[in-house]
Amino acid sequence: MPTVSKKGQLMPESPIRKLVPYAEMAYKKGKTVYHLNIGQPDIKTPEVALDAVKVHSLDILAYTRSEGSEGYRRKIADYYKKNHITVNHDDIIVTTGGSEALLFAFGSIMDSDDEIIIPEPFYANYNGFSTASGVKVVPVISKIENNFALPPIEEFEKHITPKTKAILICNPGNPTGYLYSREEIKKLASIVKKHDLFLIADEVYREFVYDGNEFYSIMQEEGLEDHAIMIDSVSKRYSMCGARIGYLVSKNKQVIKTALKFAQARLSPPTLAQIASEAALETPQSYFDEVIEEYVKRRNILIRELEKIEGVKVAKPKGAFYCIVELPVKNADHFAQWLLETYDHHNETVMVAPAAGFYSTPGVGLNQIRIAYVLNENSLIKAVNILGEALKVYQD
């Protein structure tokens, strides 16, 4: 019998999606499931984006350029300029989601067995992208005790070898909600210049920054032009996860030239989604003001309710819409499955994402979960109450 590849066998399951069959079983039993497991916002997509698709005048749904339409990329560059990031349209490649942008970046700068340093916990799919690219993740652990701040630079330097090609961060962070300060970005810039590495920043949550904190992009840092690769996406910014439109952005011409080869190999990003995403750039600031206000309210409610539960520890997010929660359990994977398979509180339960999948260090994060606060106020309060009641009766 033919066998699948070793690479395929090593591909990790999604800690976010692997519990879906158990959630479906819970639904079949008539249970209500509150989804705290996935970053699918319930915020409405801007009407200007949806209307652009409804009224398009295309006769043929044709390919676009592999790097995305020039008009769209020029508008993206204008958007960045408004956000104090100066790039040209030819520094941008439009991709099929931020995920493809990351795969293009990995393929463009790393060969098999090369290494990339990532502060953990990190977005779980970084493990998958690395496996698919034959690249080794070298983790530097950040800790809940200091809100998942950047680990000391000395920790990064300990892990740099001749195989190291890049450092990757997510800013603001998924799954932690941590926002890297200007000073922390400058420290990273210094180390990648010193060791001649790339600095990749996944900045898809740029707009989601709270409490008057400043967002500082790696693309704003002078002297980093040859080192910086920015990953971006419309998914969360405009609540357009299904559009699957992202960007790879770099002033390093060799990186863009190389990434374009990968873009050509998959032909082009989706045409209708580009139309919607281009229109979304006209979204008024009032939309974002209202969204930020809503997420701050949700974050505060979530933290307040979690802190009422005995034995629970939570890091306060400065951005994005996630947080890591430490539970008084030994194995959050087992607990998450038990919540769906066995437990209910008045015929209701919750779905969470076990956090071990957001680490690459074995045995770390086993008692942690990631919560996405993308539910409305009442649902959040109910969900956390159910979580608290469940912990009272759960046995490892």
Beta carbons of 80 and 246 less than 8 angstroms apart: no
Q: Minimal CA–CA distance to 192: which of 215, 221, 149?
A: 221
pLDDT over 70 for what percent of the chain?
100
pLDDT over threshold 90, residue 200: yes
Summarised one tens digit per residue, pLDDT across range 93-110 is 999 999 999 999 999 999
User: For residue 381, what pLDDT band results from cuts at 50, 70 and 90?
Assistant: very high
Q: Output the pLDDT for position 117.
A: 98
Summarised one tens digit per residue, pLDDT across range 135-169 is 999 999 999 999 999 999 999 999 999 999 999 99
User: For residue 354, what pLDDT band results from cuts at 50, 70 and 90?
Assistant: very high
User: For residue 19, what pLDDT band results from cuts at 50, 70 and 90?
Assistant: very high
pLDDT over threshold 90, residue 259: yes
Structural domains in the chain, CATH included, are 6-44+286-393 (3.90.1150.10), 47-280 (3.40.640.10)
Lookup: tokens for 352 = 């969470």
Summarised one tens digit per residue, pLDDT across range 315-337 is 999 999 999 999 999 999 999 99
Segment 107-125 mean pLDDT? 97
pLDDT over threshold 80, residue 22: yes
Q: Output the pLDDT for position 234.
A: 97
Q: Output the pLDDT for position 16.
A: 73
- What DSSP line would sit under 263-298, residue for residue? HHHT----HHHHHHHHHHTT--HHHHHHHHHHHHHH
Q: Output the pLDDT for position 14.
A: 82
Give Cα 117 distance to the centre of its chain.
17
CA distance 18 to 21: 7
Q: Minimal CA–CA distance to 126: which of 369, 359, 321?
A: 359
pLDDT over threshold 90, residue 13: no
CA distance 236 to 358: 19
Q: What is the mean pLDDT of the chain?
A: 96
| Omega of the bond leading into 269 within 30 degrees of 0 (cis) | no
pLDDT over threshold 90, residue 116: yes
pLDDT over 90 for what percent of the chain?
95
Q: Output the pLDDT for position 40.
A: 85
H/E stretch holding 117 = strand 115-120
| Omega of the bond leading into 354 within 30 degrees of 0 (cis) | no
Summarised one tens digit per residue, pLDDT across range 40-58 is 888 899 999 999 999 998 9
